[in-house]
Amino acid sequence: MNAPFSPATAATAQASAPVAAARTGIATALLRHPLLRPLAALAILLLIDLVCIPGFFRLEIKDGHLYGSVIDIANRAAPLMLAALGMTLVIATRGIDISVGAVVAISGTVAAMLIGGTMVVNHGVPEYVSRIPMAWALAAAMGAALLCGAWNGLLVATLGLQPIIATLILMVAGRGLAQLLTDGQIVTVYYKPYFFIGSGYLFGLPFALYLVAAVFLVVAVMMRKTALGLFIQAVGINPVAARLAGLKTAALIFFVYVFCSACAGLAGLMISANIKSADANNAGLLLELDAILAVTLGGTSLAGGKFSLAGSVIGALIIQTLTYTIYSLGVPPEVNMVVKSVVVFLVCLSQSAEFKKVWQRMRARKS
């Protein structure tokens, strides 16, 4: 969704200097690029880190793994990035999915329960045995997440319930169902291969980042190279017009909710593999809110329509960097919430057309 090269501004530049005109054209195009604001926010945060935290950008290689604060931030942001990717499409259709945290709990619980795992000592060598083959367990967990998504999609697309209330049902009941499965206990996993999803390394980088990159690439290609992205945007801009234009709006809306839950399910696997257990009560708590925040920070309007997948990923990185910065600066972590809310207020205001008008009026009065 690049901002179009603006011929109007190029024309106002001096015609006798085409090179300069092209340069200002590129400059305005860059200035108007929708990713500018989120990237600038991230850059400012990183700059603060560079100045205030010694050795922030230092990377080290230990046992063939890349270590460093930047890698750590990206790794910890992985579940949030996934959830934000799914949420982006939902928000693009004017919807909202507040059941993300519950789906995280459900998929993590299903995987952890099916794998379980015990340590068996064979001839003095500890071996990890899973209850059922891991592939099946992962498939079942993703299946559960897809079911959740289908449920949300059914309520929103077929029954026409308001998205926030339709997903509120699963948000309330989902954690209850996950607790029902585990009988209220925290399920611990003793099975090494499973941990790889959450804390493994591949070619020196955390494996979770590859998963995020894969999901991002698949979705980006689907949105850019097929008409799907355009259709989703059309539904968000005007659902009735999109339907009258012949789009299968219900099917599209159904799809985005299933996709969002699939992302949440994968995030759930990551979280439970990382903490080596499934906590139906606390896994992914408030993740939906952070995901919505990431999407908003990334420049996607909650009113639907135009969306930016890359923006949402950057938004997730901003949130995680903010958290990291606050922790490293020695500010009490509780302040995090206040800072987060102030950031959201500022971002929302900067997106508001009314605020711009007021701002311009104030500037005009000054001059």
Partner 1 sequence: MKKLLASPYFTSLVTVVLLFVMFGAGAAAYTGLGSLQVVLNLLIDNAFLLVIAIGMTFVILSGGIDLSVGSVLALTTMVSAWLLHAAHWPPALVIAFVLVMGALFGAAMGALIHYFKLQPFIVTLSGMFLARGLCYLISINSITIDDPFYVKMSQTRIDLFGAFVSPSVVIALVTLFVAIYMAHYTRFGRAVYAIGGNEQSALMMGLPVGRTKVLIYAFSGFCAALAGVLFSFYMLSGYGLHAQGTELDAIAAVVIGGTLLTGGYGYVAGTLSGVLILGLIQTLIAFDGTLSSWWTKIVIGALLFIFCLVQRLMAISAAGRAAKAPTALAAVAA
Which residues make up the interface to partner 1 (CB under 8 A)? Answer: 96, 155, 159-162, 164-166, 168-177, 179-180, 183-184, 239-240, 243, 249, 289, 292-293, 296, 302-303, 332, 334-342, 344-345, 348-349, 352-355
CB of 159 to partner 1, least distance (A): 5
Q: Between residues 292 and 310, which has the closer beta carbon with respect to partner 1?
A: 292
- With vertex at residue 207, the alpha carbon angle to CA 206 and CA 212, rounded to the nearest 5 degrees, is 105
Name the residue with tokens 């971002």: 347
Q: How far apart (Å, rounded) are the C-alpha atoms in residues 170 and 300?
A: 24
Q: Please, which residue, 273 or 280, has the CB nearer to partner 1? A: 280
The nearer residue to partner 1, 49 or 288, going by C-beta atoms, is 288
- The pair of three-digit structure tokens given for residue 345, joined into one six-digit string: 């207020």
CB of 235 to partner 1, least distance (A): 10
CB of 265 to partner 1, least distance (A): 19
Query: Least Å distance between CB 115 and partner 1?
Result: 22
- Which structure tokens are listed for 242? 């999109």
State the virtual CA torsion across 139, 167, 35, 71 in degrees, nearest 10: -40
Q: Which is nearer to partner 1, 55 or 332 (CB)?
A: 332
Q: Taking a C-beta distance cutoff of 8 angstroms, is the pair 149, 261 a contact?
A: yes
Would you say 171 or 219 has its CB closer to partner 1? 171
Question: Closest Cα partner for 300 from 163, 104, 96?
Answer: 96
Closest separation in Å from C-beta 104 to partner 1: 16
Strands (E), the chain: 60-62, 65-67, 118-122, 125-129, 187-188, 201-202, 205-206, 277-278
